[in-house]
Amino acid sequence: MRASATAAQLAEAREARASYRAGTVVPTSGVAHGLVQANLIAVPADWAFETLLFAQRNPKPMPVLEVLEAGRVESRLAPGSDVRTDIPAYRIWRDGELAEETADASAAWVEHPDLVSFLIGCSFTFEAGLVDAGIPIRHREAGRNVPMYRTSTACASAGRLGGELVVSMRPIPAGRVADAVGISGRYPAVHGAPVHVGDPSSLGIADLDAPDFGDPPALQDGDVPVFWACGVTPQAAIMASRPPFAVTHAPGHMFVTDVPDAEFLR
Amino acid sequence: MRASATAAQLAEAREARASYRAGTVVPTSGVAHGLVQANLIAVPADWAFETLLFAQRNPKPMPVLEVLEAGRVESRLAPGSDVRTDIPAYRIWRDGELAEETADASAAWVEHPDLVSFLIGCSFTFEAGLVDAGIPIRHREAGRNVPMYRTSTACASAGRLGGELVVSMRPIPAGRVADAVGISGRYPAVHGAPVHVGDPSSLGIADLDAPDFGDPPALQDGDVPVFWACGVTPQAAIMASRPPFAVTHAPGHMFVTDVPDAEFLR
């Protein structure tokens, strides 16, 4: 480890996970500032190779932080954690359809003991870098979840898994766009630099005010919409590819780890 | 693509592959200067997830450039290529033992039609950067293969696959070591910066003159031994983990692609 979390950060992360385990359902943007948060996708073992290959071929939306093989539920990124319960909200998918949203996914592991879990980097990590540089995070200021959009950009497929890129959007004051690009680019393990700046229509996004996931954006005068590859991309792949079963986090409701963001700086 | 290969580079790469396909067996260091070369490991489909996971957990020795799913033998990195024949020399592994070395691995794909092939970045790529900076490549000057060593450093295991790190070594004039670190560090997709500089014994290497793969080194006065993570690492994992069957390139005899090294610059 190149950096250490402070005792206060660790205490906040552990309290957050304990609270989610006990049933609290809240978005995690801003929780345990400076510690990495992760997206989850868990699939039956039969789909694990294609999921990992899909990630390898699409590293910007799916930077793999950790893989928990079948039978493992404790993340090395958070000792004592349990990925079945420590995320505030889960989605259960059957044949590509959203079957259920739940605060406790334990039953999914009972039904499918061979689930392989993938923790994927999350843009909330570089948000800390943006905040530290004085760049406003509009959805936090507005007390909202970050807006996320399905795009018309195809990911590289892997066997049975394919689908379109999902992006998150942050309105950035025009004079700080270059800084936001530079800062997020230093975190390639958490989506890195934006995939797109400024023109929603060329990503196939018809209406910025109607995101596919999360809350509507809170643009201010002089803001430019900036789009980053998003860890919800595997959920779009589930919808498009229809694996028989999958578990994911609910968008914006992440797995909070004990690992400092600085671990993933380059 | 951010960079284009020249017509002369492409002609050299294609002639080299055609020559290897016809049976020529030679090390590939220095061939098609400026184009990426790759290590090969091919395993039955049942071992594909663990192999990809082993790579994900050990990105310095195993930076994955491409995965060819079962049934695919043409690399996207070299249109018209055939990974069964276009490498100068292959190794066939049975139960972790080297069973055969051959110039044509077609029979392996007949025996195991479900082989999944992994092309892994090779340090020959950043050698081009060292050469361009005027840093001598001693094994090339001496007309030898690069020396490679098994070390006492354990890789992170993945299911049934584990083993020790293998390193390649280049003697670098002491005054150019920092430059060699900086230049190779710009190529994270091909092993990146050295894992070790100067002291073979702390890697568990008893005798620099007796490499486990390749040829003995050609150190000159004032040279320091510099060690990079090596794409032969999966071969050490095969020896340690004993999958029933595997195909690899023979050390130093790589897959020559059509892709410019600059594609992998960061």
Mean pLDDT within B135-161: 94
Contacts of B159 in chain A (CB under 8 A): 69
Cβ neighbours of residue A128 closer than 8 Å, sequence gap 6 or more: A33, A34, A261
Q: Do A67 and B48 touch (CB under 8 A)?
A: no
Q: Compute the nearest-CA separation of B45 from chain A (Å).
A: 9
Residue A2 banded pLDDT, cuts 50, 70, 90: low
Summarised one tens digit per residue, pLDDT across range B58-96 is: 999 999 999 999 999 999 999 999 999 999 999 999 999
Q: Which domains does chain A have, with CATH numbers?
A: 7-123+242-264 (3.40.1640.10), 126-233 (3.30.2040.10)
The minimum CA-CA distance between B215 and chain A, rounded to whole Å, is 33
**Is pLDDT at A200 greater than 80 in this prediction?**
yes
Cβ contacts of B135 within 8 Å, gap of 6 or more? B172, B173, B176, B179, B180, B183
Q: Using a CB-CB distance cutoff of 8 angstroms, which residues of chain B are in contact with residue A159? A: 69
- What is the C-alpha separation between B122 and B250, in angstroms, rounded? 13
- Measured at the CA of A146, the angle between CA A142 and CA A151, to 5 degrees, comes to 140
Sign of CA dihedral B48, B50, B51, B56: positive
> What is the pLDDT at residue A125?
82
Question: Is B56 in Cβ contact with A56 (below 8 Å)?
Answer: yes
Mean pLDDT of chain A: 94
Q: Can you give the pLDDT at residue A266?
A: 66
Q: In this predicted model, what pLDDT tens digit does every residue of A43-86 receive, in sequence order?
A: 999 999 999 999 999 999 999 999 999 999 999 999 999 999 99
- Work out the minimum CA distance from A48 to partner chain B, whole angstroms: 7
Among the ranges given (A70-74, A157-161, B197-201), the one the predictor scored with the smallest mean pLDDT: B197-201
Residues 6+ apart with CB under 8 A from A18: none
Position B2 pLDDT exceeds 90: no
Interface of A with B (CB under 8 A): 45, 48-49, 52-53, 56-57, 64, 67, 69, 158-159
Q: Which helix (H) or strand (E) holds B223?
A: strand B223-229
Task: State residue B1's pLDDT score.
Answer: 43
pLDDT exceeds 80 at position A265: no
Q: Name the 3-class secondary structure at B81.
A: coil
| % of chain B beyond a pLDDT of 90 | 85
Structure confidence at residue B125 (pLDDT): 82
Tell whether the model's pLDDT for residue B266 goes beyond 80. Answer: no
Question: In this complex, do A159 and B69 lie within 8 Å of one another by their Cβ atoms?
Answer: yes
Per-residue pLDDT, averaged over A191-216, amounts to 93
Poorest-pLDDT segment among A123-132, A235-244, B156-165: A123-132
Q: A118: how many CB neighbours lie within 10 A of its CB?
A: 25
How many residues would you count in chain A?
266
Nearest CA in chain B to A66: B57
What residues in A contact B69, CB-CB < 8 Å? 53, 158-159
With a cut of 80, say whether residue A3 has pLDDT above it: no
